[in-house]
Amino acid sequence: MSFQTGTYRLGPDDGTLSVRTGRKGAAAKAGHDLLIHVTAWQATLRLAEDPADTSIELEADATSLRVREGTGGMQSLGDDDKANIHTTIDDEVLKRQAIAFRSTQVTGTDARLSVQGELTLAGTTRPLAFDLAVGDDRRLRAVAVVKQSDWGIKPYSTLFGALKVADDVTVEIDAGLPQSP
């Protein structure tokens, strides 16, 4: 599928930016796998005829992460649990610091792009690569695995370390591409 070249701006009104966490440790059965939505973000996709001239930028408010779902665990997550998780993410994990991604190289076709760039997370900038697909339905979809410790983040743990958030978290974007730039 061919798309009109130009600059497209995306945000929460166009789709979802989400984070999925897993759990591990001796008490993993007590914890939850979380689906967290980033509720304040903006992305700019500059599509060019030549993918080498295409660029992607994304900024997200680290304080806008909200737990949407918790699966597994010995009991369901309540509103108080979700609020406590939000506070922990803000104060202990991301420490209210900016989240940003800037592409450094884009290759492929306008339907499937291989993206390399730099992710700034918790005050540390490191390389990140992922594929971005644009379907016939004009949906952008991408999945990237972020190893928290690579960005200096110590995965959250409780119960004296018997329950831990897995080091690898999955970041996904699923957004509709506007009809025209």
Q: Each residue of 72-108: pLDDT tens digit?
A: 877 888 888 899 889 988 988 999 999 999 999 999 8
Q: Does residue 156 fall inside a structural domain?
A: yes
Averaged over 158-165, what is the pLDDT? 69
Provide the mean pLDDT of the chain.
Answer: 88
| Domain encompassing residue 78 | 6-176
| DSSP run (H or E) holding 81 | helix 79-88
Report the chain's terminal Cα–Cα distance, integer Å.
16
| pLDDT tens, position by position, 127-160 | 999 999 988 888 999 999 999 999 999 887 776 6
Reported confidence tier of residue 66, pLDDT bands at 50, 70, 90:
very high
The pLDDT > 90 percentage for the chain reads: 54
Does the pLDDT value for residue 181 go beyond 70?
Answer: no
SS3 83: helix
pLDDT of 28: 67
Q: Does residue 82 fall inside a structural domain?
A: yes
Q: Does residue 57 fall inside a structural domain?
A: yes
- Rounded to two decimals, the pTM is 0.88
Distance CA 68, CA 141 (A): 19
Q: Does residue 79 fall inside a structural domain?
A: yes
* Sequence-ordered list of residues with C-beta below 8 angstroms from that of 64, at least 6 positions apart, any chain: 38, 39, 40, 41
- Which regions of the chain does DSSP assign to beta strands (E)? 6-10, 15-21, 23-24, 33-38, 41-47, 55-60, 65-71, 99-108, 112-121, 124-134, 139-147, 157-158, 163-165, 168-176
Q: What CATH number is attached to the domain comprising 107?
A: 2.40.128.110
Q: Does residue 181 fall inside a structural domain?
A: no
Averaged over 19-32, what is the pLDDT? 79
Distance CA 121, CA 97 (A): 7
Q: Does residue 105 fall inside a structural domain?
A: yes
The pLDDT > 70 percentage for the chain reads: 92
Number of domains in the chain: 1
